[in-house]
Structure 1
Amino acid sequence: MSVEKVALVPVWHEVSHLFSDQECAALAWAEEVTLVSETHASDAAYTAASGAFGDQDLVDLTIAIAAMNAFNRLGAPFRMPVPVKA
């Protein structure tokens, strides 16, 4: 994936035409899982995600999302620096 496309991930809703249906489903599921205290992983979101991914792929995606969320929840309070490449 190009750096330009990665840079658009935070605004993917606004430029969803630049992402495949499966990429949009993954991004929507990532938001749903990340905000689970608010979304409660709704049935509608689960149905949409499971329609875009097979069972094992959805498990793998959810584990990757959970791992990134865990890393962020550790990195922020411990002030882990973001590496900058020149």
Structure 2
Amino acid sequence: MSKRLNYSEIAPEGVKALGGVYGYVMQSGLSPVLVDLVYLRVSQINNCAYCLDMHTRDLIKKGVSVEKLALVQAWREGGALFDSRERAALAWAESVTLVAQTGVPDSAYEVARTVFDERELVDLTIAIALMNTYNRMAISFRNTPQAAIEQ
């Protein structure tokens, strides 16, 4: 599969605007590991190879164990590998990413709001929406994962 186009070159202002949102999320006070776990889970749901590769590498650099990375997709069965904030964030990420199927029910909101304050929940939702956007850009224009380039 080859790259269709380089959207960073074609629409640098748009990509810069997305980068501004990314910068906001990174300074939001949410744990960088938590945010990257959410980014990884959203990318798994959307099957974005480019983003899966990037966020797996980022989490490894942040010291997350291979065992934990291997179970992100099955975090509910991951036991103590995932703390209560991570479990709540991953559940929220799944519900928001799959909004057309889930409608983000009250039950999902109730779980998330017991763990996150209002600002954190808004910031987490912004992060989830941003990753869904990045996934759609990378998939639509066939960004090549770094792992594929290194081969």
Normalising by structure 2, we get a TM-score of: 0.53
Q: Which has the larger radius of gyration?
A: 2
Q: Going by fraction, where is helix more abundant, 1 or 2?
A: 2
1:11 to 58, 74, 77: 74
RMSD: 1.6
1:2 is aligned, of 53, 64, 67, to 64
- The CA distance in 2 between the partners of 1:81 and 1:3, in whole Å, is 25
Which of 116, 119, 143 is the matching residue for 1:56? 119
- 1:47-78 per-residue CA deviation (whole Å, 9 max, x = no partner) reads 11011100110011000010001111111111
CA distance in 1, matches of 2:141, 2:123: 27
Q: Where in structure 1 are there 5+ consecutive unaligned residues?
A: none
Q: Distance in 2 between matches of 1:65 and 1:18?
A: 21
* Aligned pairs for 1:1-86 within 5 A: 1-4=63-66, 5-84=68-147
Which is bigger in relative contact order (C-alpha 8 A, separation at least 6)?
Answer: 2
Matched pairs, number: 86
What's the CA shift for 1:7? 3.0
Q: Which amino acid aligns with 1:46?
A: Y
Question: 1:17 corresponds to which letter in structure 2?
Answer: A
Q: Write the distance in 2 (CA, Å) between the matches of 1:39 and 1:45.
A: 9
Q: TM-score, normalised by structure 1?
A: 0.90
Unpaired segments ≥5 residues, structure 2: 1-62
